[in-house]
Amino acid sequence: MDERTTSDPAIRTEGLTRRYGQTVAVRDLDLSVPRGSVLGLVGPNGAGKTTTIKLLLGLARPTAGRAEVLGFDAITQSLEVRRRTGYAPENDAVYGWMTVRDALDFCRGLYPTWDRERAGRCLDLFGLAAGQRVAAMSRGMRRQLALVLAVAARPQLLLLDEPTEGLDPDRRRDFFGVILEDVAADGSTVLISSHQLHEVERVADRVAFLRAGRLVREGSLDSIKETERQVRVVFQGAPPPDLAAWPELGRAHAEGRTWVLAVRGDLHAVLARLRALNPFALEVVERNLEDLYFSLGREADGDAHPPSAD
Amino acid sequence: MPIRPLLIKELREARWKLFTAGLVMVALGAVIPATHGFVVGLLEEVPLPPALLPQVQAQLRDVTTYLWANWPAKNLYQTLVVAALVFGAGALAPEFGRGTAVFLFSRPVTRRAVVLAKFAVGVAGLALAALAGTLALDLTARAVLGQGVPWTFYAALVPATAGASVVYGIALWFSARGDDGLRAGVWAALAAAALSVPSWVPNLQVASVYVHMTARPLFLEGRFPWLEVLGLAAVTALLVLASARALEGRDV
């Protein structure tokens, strides 16, 4: 194994930018993904998720900045990157004239790390027959084949672009529950771009939020949840007039008589101050990835506003 | 880098095109000697201009001349040019048009290797189709006319294929720059048509790919056109490199 593969992060980007004419698909992206982690790349359509993945694989060239994958430059050493990376693209891309066996044979010849046993196990799990022609498969089946091809190479890095799009719930469960756990147990790094936020939350230990090509927030899911907590409070009367000036608070908004306060600083200090106001109700809200997705999205869109007491 | 899977993939993908090209060549090769008697009879009934009469009669009297005039000097190279345009234009652009480029180029293969594999399979296919056609010509001539073709007919396959490689390279270059094989084919056909201009001017024929494809020195002097073949090979190499370069600069 190359020395680089043990010491560097799996993915490191610095100022990575890709423009298409006037459109900036990825803007000044600084990202560092530790080895062995499972990163969920989330964001709305057009956020730059697919372009980011293509930049990492050398399928697109950056307009500015650079990307290092598994210690290799994503452009000048793209071949080394692709030797060690499994990729299931967003759109079905396997040749229609191929059978499942043809596709496996083609890929097996290209990856020195190809694992026949894992390929066979995945095919069995998905119920794909070796003689099936890709052109005659449903979209979900083609998706399953793409996933098999990506994981059977025993990659050090697995890039999955909307991996479960078109899969039925059973296959989706099989993929996340069996295949991905198998890959993660290998110590491989996994990057999943998906709209299935609850599934990303189940498997990812880190998450990166992209919006309009910008990285809004990146870090371990636990630490983001820790720093993006909310408190719901019902005051006895009007909220304190200096609420907007509380340094621990981010966005605040009213839902009827209930105020929802985003806490950015010391939660215990905020709770103590609120309790001193003797509110009718006070609770800390556990936020899931979906809540974070929407609240970070609103902030990134400039919707965030300081708390106000009116 | 493992090139074998690429070659196998290209062969399997192009098998029907290769088969069709071979079939057309075999049909053409077989028809020429088989229709010799019919053509002779036809020309006896058709009044020809006196200026053309000695040339036509000489061509028809000598079977080898008749076969040469209709195979290496005409049908072989013309069919090869059309096949090279079809093969070359369909090599890369459809990968982008149908979305399979993502599958192909996300594998551990260089774009240059992909171009070389496609070129190797395409040109080998053209050469095999031309060989099959020449074999069909030879065997039919033996059966129908009682004489086969001399070695020069087989040697003529080399300059014919070398010229077809140039045309393939032109089509490949257009194919590397777009998503639509048909459009690449139209542009390549226009470029190939422009290449025929030197053929019409005697002083410029040295620059004509098509004139070199007819392997005149083999028929007239019994000399193999090494220099011409090397020149065509050099032009082909440049075109293939330019195609690889165009492909390397593209986003997938």
User: How far is B182 from chain A, CA to nearest CA, in Å?
Assistant: 19
Residue of B nearest to A108 (CA): B5
pLDDT band at A165 (very low <50, low <70, confident <90, very high): confident
**Integer-rounded Cα radius of gyration of chain A:** 23
Residue of B6, B107, B179 to mutate, testing the A interface (most A Cβ within 10 Å of its Cβ): B107
Q: What is the DSSP string of B31-61?
A: HHHHTHHHHHHHHHHSPPPTTTHHHHHHHHH
Spatial contact of A270 and A247, defined as CB atoms under 8 Å apart: no
Q: What is the DSSP code (8-state) at residue A239?
A: P
- Per the DSSP assignment, residues forming a β-bridge with A254 are A259
The mean-pLDDT minimum among A131-145, A296-310, B24-38, B220-234 falls in A296-310
pLDDT tens across A269-293, in order?
A: 888 999 998 899 999 887 777 777 7
Q: What is the DSSP string of A214-225?
A: EEEEEEEHHHHH
pLDDT tens across A191-208, in order?
A: 999 888 888 888 888 999
Spatial contact of A183 and A158, defined as CB atoms under 8 Å apart: yes
Rounded to 5 degrees, what are φ and ψ at A25?
A: -80, -40
Rounded Cα–Cα distance for residues B61 and B58 (Å): 5
Do the chains contact at B4 and A109, CB–CB below 8 Å? yes
- ipTM, two decimals: 0.86
Q: Which has the closest alpha carbon to A307: A259, A273, A271?
A: A259
Rounded Cα–Cα distance for residues A243 and A261 (Å): 10
Token representation of residue A234: 């019902």
The answer to whether A268 faces chain B, any CB pair under 8 Å, is no
Rounded Cα–Cα distance for residues A86 and B133 (Å): 45
The string over A23-54, giving b where at least 16 C-beta atoms fall within 10 Å of a residue's C-beta and e elsewhere, is: ebbbbebebebebebbbbbbbeeebbbbbbbb
A215 C-beta neighbours (distance < 10 Å), count: 23
Residue of B nearest to A53 (CA): B106
Burial class of residue B40 in the structure, from the number of CB atoms within 10 Å of its CB (0-12 exposed, 13-18 middle, 19+ buried): middle
Rounded Cα–Cα distance for residues A301 and A137 (Å): 40
- Tell me how many residue pairs between chain A and chain B have CB atoms under 8 A apart: 60
Question: Is residue A304 over pLDDT 70?
Answer: no
3-state secondary structure of A266: coil
Rounded Cα–Cα distance for residues A74 and A82 (Å): 9
Instruction: Output the pLDDT for position B232.
Output: 97
Give chain B positions within 8 Å (CB) of A105.
5, 8
Question: Between the CA of residue A176 and those of A11, A134, A171, what are the distances in Å?
Answer: 22, 23, 9
Q: What is the DSSP string of A131-170?
A: T-BGGGS-HHHHHHHHHHHHHTT--SEEEEESTTTT--HH
Q: What string of pLDDT tens digits covers the 252 residues of chain B?
A: 678 999 999 999 999 999 999 999 999 999 999 999 888 888 778 887 888 878 777 777 789 999 999 999 999 999 999 999 999 999 999 999 999 999 999 999 999 999 999 999 999 999 999 999 999 999 999 999 999 999 999 999 999 999 999 999 999 999 999 999 999 999 999 999 999 999 999 889 989 999 999 999 999 999 999 999 999 999 999 999 999 999 999 999
Q: Residue B117 is which amino acid?
A: A
Spatial contact of B85 and B185, defined as CB atoms under 8 Å apart: yes
Do the chains contact at B99 and A92, CB–CB below 8 Å? yes
| B73-76: long-range pairs with CB below 8 Å, 24+ | B73/B214, B73/B216, B73/B219, B74/B214, B75/B28, B75/B32, B76/B25, B76/B28, B76/B130, B76/B133, B76/B134, B76/B156, B76/B157, B76/B160
Residue of A nearest to B6 (CA): A106
Q: What is the DSSP code (8-state) at residue A35?
A: T
Rounded Cα–Cα distance for residues A158 and A150 (Å): 7
Instruction: Output the pLDDT for position A68.
Output: 96
pLDDT band at A226 (very low <50, low <70, confident <90, very high): confident
Three-state helix/strand/coil letters over A67-112? EEECCEECCCCHHHHHHCEEEECCCCCCCCCCEHHHHHHHHHCCCC
Burial class of residue A103 in the structure, from the number of CB atoms within 10 Å of its CB (0-12 exposed, 13-18 middle, 19+ buried): buried
Mean pLDDT of chain A: 87
Closest partner CB to A59 (pick from B2, B13, B251): B251
Spatial contact of A46 and A132, defined as CB atoms under 8 Å apart: no
Rounded Cα–Cα distance for residues A72 and A81 (Å): 6
Spatial contact of B217 and B225, defined as CB atoms under 8 Å apart: yes
Give chain B positions within 8 Å (CB) of A54.
251-252
Question: Is residue A310 over pLDDT 80?
Answer: no
**Integer-rounded Cα radius of gyration of chain B:** 20
Rounded Cα–Cα distance for residues A197 and A192 (Å): 11
Instruction: Output the pLDDT for position A305.
Output: 44
pLDDT band at A230 (very low <50, low <70, confident <90, very high): confident
The mean-pLDDT minimum among A66-75, A79-88, A179-188 falls in A179-188
